[in-house]
Amino acid sequence: MITVLFVAFAAILVVSSLLVILHRSPVASAIFLVLAFCSLAVIYLLLKAEFIGLVQIVVYAGAIMVLFLFVIMYLNLGRDVESGVTIALRRGLGWLLGAVLLAEGVLFLRHGAALGPEAPPPLDPGLGNTQQVGLLLYSRYLFPFEITSMLLLVAMIGAVVIARGRRARVEAGEAAAAGPAGPAAAGEEDA
């Protein structure tokens, strides 16, 4: 029975993950991401990793999804009109930064810096699941944990910078539409 449940929730996880990246609407993608997080939490529960399953629901399906939806609504994801030069510049910069990150990852893995100690510290069988996760997280997996936190921080800062740039362009467009004398002159014409 557990195998059937595992396969069923794994299939739900794969399908909902594909719908996250293939759906055009950002809000629908966020909803499918919540479904993917919840199905992954059930898989953790089936594998008797109760703490990680509950953290998956509380942290990811709860807090991170609220953050994602806040950013989606804050950015007001409309279509921007961009020229071919801007698109080419962004793509080129994206590929360049991706290549740099890949090269850094290869260097870290080659020198063994990303893997942490060779063997995890011996765990006391009397410790609970939560204590064992904490010991491993802050010893063997400290580097990936810190990289993940930095990635989330950079993503939040990037979202705020993008939103400010869009707001400034909208305000500049409204000021230009009001005419050279400003909003007061536009109000006088209506009277």
pLDDT digits (tens, 9 = 90+) for 17-63: 999 999 888 778 888 988 999 999 999 999 988 888 888 888 887 77
Same domain, 66 and 120: no
> What are the tens digits of pLDDT across the range 127-172?
777 787 787 778 878 888 888 888 888 887 887 777 777 667 767 7
The boundaries of the domain holding residue 167 are: 115-180
CA distance 103 to 111: 12
> What are the tens digits of pLDDT across the range 77-113?
555 556 677 778 878 888 898 898 888 878 877 776 6
Based on DSSP, count helices (H) and strands (E) in the chain, helices before strands.
8, 0
Same domain, 38 and 88: no
pTM: 0.49
Q: Are 70 and 19 in contact (CB under 8 A)?
A: no
Q: Are 42 and 9 in contact (CB under 8 A)?
A: yes
**pLDDT, averaged across the chain:** 78
* Residue where one domain finishes, among candidates 61, 91, 110: 110
Task: Flag whether 20 is in a domain.
Answer: yes
CA distance 67 to 37: 14
